[in-house]
Amino acid sequence: MRKLDRIILGYIAIVSALALWRAPDIPGCWWLLAAHALTVALILLLQRPGLGPFGRLVREVYPVVLLILFYTELDILNTGAQIHDATIQGWEQALFGEQLSVTLRQRFPSVLLSTALHGVYWAYYILLITPVVYFSARQQWFALRRTMFVVIVTLLGCYLVFLAYPVAGPYFEFARPDAWFLDNPPARLVYATLASGSSFGSAFPSSHVAATIAATSGAWRGDRRLGVVMLVPTVLLVLSVVYCQMHYGIDAVAGVAVGALAWWLGGKYRD
């Protein structure tokens, strides 16, 4: 059993215990527990020797699929949970002297900046998959496994923080930006994506920032040229999550810290 398999099973055990505890108040948790049981069965089946080509493919890609499912669970598990935005806003005020997610765009109002940074924010999904596609196409299997490992571990760690310390974020807490700020195709795409799949309580730390840095670290170690290409949008994404009012400034700072830890972890990775 690979390290990643064991980590995912550990995550399922922790979240299942939480779901069982909250099930009397949140009936949807029973469905989560059933899904977790099926997921554990799948992981154990994938450890059998003699897997065919399809089985080996499923074994490689199943963690990516689970990331999506685990993220959607957060919305159910955080139903009725106490949020900690007041505390985070206090930290924000103490560190920056203002609420950056509101004042940054007010200080630098620009249709061009809004368009570019909303585009960078949505490009998060592309940035995560780019090194996976690149290393798969070049058959750099070690680089691929290392990148997937650091990204998945980073996101699962963020998910656990979201469950232990839910923070809604400025997207929910503050009034929406003015219409002119959102009247561009990338902004409309971002809001349409959030409307179809955002999970409440998942602001601190910024998993967008943390996972993008993790993906960039994998790209950098696997192929320096790819790492350089990803570095600029990664830096811009740290700015975009605040400017576009998706995260507090302190969320982005915490995301950078988690991403730095992921970068270090990638250097320790061994098959």
Residues 203-242: tens digit of each pLDDT: 999 999 999 999 999 999 999 999 999 999 999 999 999 9
Query: What percentage of the chain has pLDDT greater than the value 90?
Result: 84
Query: In the predicted model, what is the mean pLDDT of the chain?
Result: 94
Q: Is residue 198 over pLDDT 90?
A: no
Task: Tell me the residue type at 199.
Answer: S
The per-residue pLDDT for 51 is 85
254 or 139: whose pLDDT is higher? 254
* Separation CA 142–CA 111 (nearest Å): 42
pTM, two decimals, is: 0.94
Residue 268 CB: number of other CB atoms within 10 A? 8
| pLDDT of the residue at 173 | 93
**What is the mean predicted confidence (pLDDT) over 56-73?**
88
- pLDDT tens profile 156-182: 999 999 999 999 999 989 998 999 999
Helices (H), the chain: 3-22, 28-45, 53-77, 85-96, 100-107, 111-122, 124-137, 141-164, 170-173, 179-182, 185-197, 207-222, 224-243, 249-268
Q: Return the pLDDT at 219.
A: 96
pLDDT digits (tens, 9 = 90+) for 102-120: 999 999 999 999 999 999 9
pLDDT confidence band for 35 (50 / 70 / 90): very high
Instruction: Tell me the average pLDDT across 125-131.
Output: 94
Could you give the angle at which helices 141-164 and 207-222 cross, rounded to 10 degrees?
160
- What's the pLDDT score for residue 191? 92
Are the beta carbons of 215 and 130 closer than 8 angstroms? yes
Residue 197 has pLDDT above 80, yes or no: no
202 secondary structure, DSSP code: B
- What pLDDT does residue 215 have? 97
DSSP conformation class of 99: -
Give the pLDDT band of residue 100 (cuts 50, 70, 90): very high
Instruction: Find the mean pLDDT for residues 72-93.
Output: 95
